[in-house]
Structure 1
Amino acid sequence: MKSTSLFSPEPAKGWLPWGVLAPFLLILFVAAPVILTDAPFIQWGFVDDRGNPIGESGLYAFLLIPFALTGVLVFAWVLLVERRPLRTIGLTPKVGAMTFLRGLCIGVATIGAVVAGIWAVGGYHADGFGRAFASPRDLIVITILLACFMLQASIEEIIFRGWLMSVLARRFNVVVAVIVTGLVFTALHYGPGQKLIVMAGTFLFSAFACAWALKAGNIWGVMGWHTGWNWFLATAFELPVTGFDAGVSALMVKLVPQGTDLITGGAQGPEASVICLSFFTGATAFLLWRLHRGAKRAQQRSKR
């Protein structure tokens, strides 16, 4: 498979990094803001000594400040060093808002379906419904978290599925781009003692997001999907999202794990469940099949 421009064929007028350098640059883009904010966050009581957010203010700061700084770094790199327009990293103009909103709704629906599936096989029992509506404070926090997750999830998609995948596809090919993007995404979400099933789930999460971006030809929809997935999981069921607890009453229903970690995902949350892994495997295969079918039809039309 040859190198290709994923979202726009426009060339970089500046310096496009070597393929082997791109993953390390991404790690730098992510690590620099974390290192810069680590000491102040601990001093201000936003995070503990392991970097985990403390309370609402800590969670807001954790989701907003480092990711905003990472976004600034990546945008500056693309515009000033590579000198290529943002549409070449999937930020296609004129389709953003509605495509993002549609993706957000799909994100809410898909994580809701995964949680419902775990509940249906006995992984959870219900312990109260819609308790957040009895607490104005929790509703305010849930609304603020939607804005926070919009930034956090969007920046992750921009740097991974937008920038890194597009650089690797131009330097190597699409297959290498998807695999390496998934490996770097998994590595940066790794925690000490993390189980293999959690790492597999993280890689499949990335593979699904890559397939979505490739099928759509932009990253707006997958930005919305990632936002909806994270936000609804964090606020709707009082379940952890990637191991973090939002600390608010359930918007929908409080679910208490009662099955094995293989079914519920344990402390990591539903994303480490075999049901979630099955969803990502099937959904990714479906998107890749549609992508292949679309490419085959386009090829047939070009021959007529």
Structure 2
Amino acid sequence: MTPVSLYSPDPARGWLPWAWLAPILMVFFNAVPVLALDGWMQSQHWSTPHGDPIGLAGLYALLWIGFAPTLVAVLAWVRFVEGRSLASIGLTGPTPLITFLRGLAVGCGTIALVVVAIWITGGMQAAGLGQALRSPESLLHIGLLLLSFIFQASVEEIIFRGWMLSVMARKTNVAAAVLLVSFVFCFLHFSPHQPPLVTLNTFLFSLFACAWALRTGSIWGVMGWHTGWNWVLATGFELPVTGMNAHLPALLVALRPQGADALTGGAQGPEGSYLCSVFFVAAIAWIQWRKTRGAQGFSPTSR
């Protein structure tokens, strides 16, 4: 395979970083804001010394304040250093809003599928039905969290599957770009002492997101999918999303994990379950199968 322009043939009118430098820049763009804001976030009682959010206020702060500087830094780099268009990092396509909303629906459905699979195999026990529907305040926060996850998930897709994947593909090839993006994604989501299954699923998450973006030729759909996945997991079942709790009653069904962590996901939530691994492997295989067959589009978000 040879270097390619993934999303748009628009040329880079500035300087593209060397292949070895792009992962370092990604870590830099993410780490500097965290280090700069850590003390202030703790002083506001929004995060613990380990960087975990405290309550709903801490979660909002993480999703907005924690991700905004990285987005600004990456977009500034793309514009002023690389001289590239937004289309060249995947923000392209004729109907971005419809594509995003379709991806959102798929994201809500796929994480619900994973959770229900864990439930029916004995890893969850129901503890209440739609309790958030009886609380206007909870519904307000669930709506605000949707907006917050739209921002957070979109930032992650723009910087990983948008900027880094596209610049690595131009400097190396698509296969190397996908692997390097997924390794860096794993590194930046890694926590000491986390189970190996959590690390594997983080890697598979990125592989799936890369496969989706490559198959559709833009990142609008996968931005929506990532949003729906995080939002329903955080608000639908009173379960952790990436180890974090929203501290809200369930919008759908309150579920309580029971049994082995390998099935339930433990403190990580369903994203740490082997059934989540099964989903990602099957979904990636399906995308590749559709690609091999030369099918036109792969999902409701296809162009």
Task: Report the number of matched residues.
Answer: 296
Q: How does 1:187-206 map to 2 (within 5 A)?
A: 187-206=187-206
Distance 1:20 1:295, change over 3 A: farther
- What's 1:172 paired with? 172
Q: What CA distance in whole angstroms lies between the structure 1 residues aligned with 2:37 and 2:2?
A: 40
TM-fit CA distance, 1:93: 4.7
- What's 2:224 paired with? 224
Q: How does 1:1-304 map to 2 (within 5 A)?
A: 1-294=1-294
Which amino acid in 2 is paired with 1:94?
Answer: P
Q: What CA distance in whole angstroms lies between the structure 2 residues aligned with 1:198 and 1:267?
A: 10
User: What TM-score, normalized by structure 1, do the two folds share?
Assistant: 0.95
TM-fit CA distance, 1:53: 0.7
Q: What CA distance in whole angstroms lies between the structure 1 residues aligned with 2:27 and 2:147?
A: 25
TM-fit CA distance, 1:260: 1.1
TM-fit CA distance, 1:294: 2.4
| Structure 1 residue matching 2:94: 3-state secondary structure | coil
Deviations 1:147-198 (A, max 9, x none): 1100000000000000111111110000001111110000000001011110
Which amino acid in 2 is paired with 1:13?
Answer: R
Q: What CA distance in whole angstroms lies between the structure 2 residues aligned with 1:241 and 1:139?
A: 18
TM-fit CA distance, 1:291: 2.2
Q: What is the identity percentage for the equivalent residue pairs of Structure 1 and Structure 2?
A: 55
Which amino acid in 2 is paired with 1:41?
Answer: M
TM-fit CA distance, 1:103: 0.2
Deviations 1:246-292 (A, max 9, x none): 10000001001112111111111101111110000010111122223
- What's 1:302 paired with? none
Q: Is the CA contact 2:126–2:253 (under 8 Å) kept in the aligned structure 1?
A: yes
Deviations 1:71-130 (A, max 9, x none): 111111101110010100000053211100000000000000000111111111100100
Q: Which range moved further: 47-56 or 208-217?
A: 47-56
What root-mean-square deviation, in Å, do the aligned CA atoms of Structure 1 and Structure 2 show?
A: 1.2
Which amino acid in 2 is paired with 1:268?
Answer: Q
Segments of structure 2 that go 5 or more residues without pairing to the other structure are 297-303
Distance 1:80 1:93, change over 3 A: farther
TM-fit CA distance, 1:55: 1.5
Q: What CA distance in whole angstroms lies between the structure 1 residues aligned with 2:108 and 2:255?
A: 16
TM-fit CA distance, 1:217: 0.1
Q: Is the CA contact 2:93–2:218 (under 8 Å) kept in the aligned structure 1?
A: no
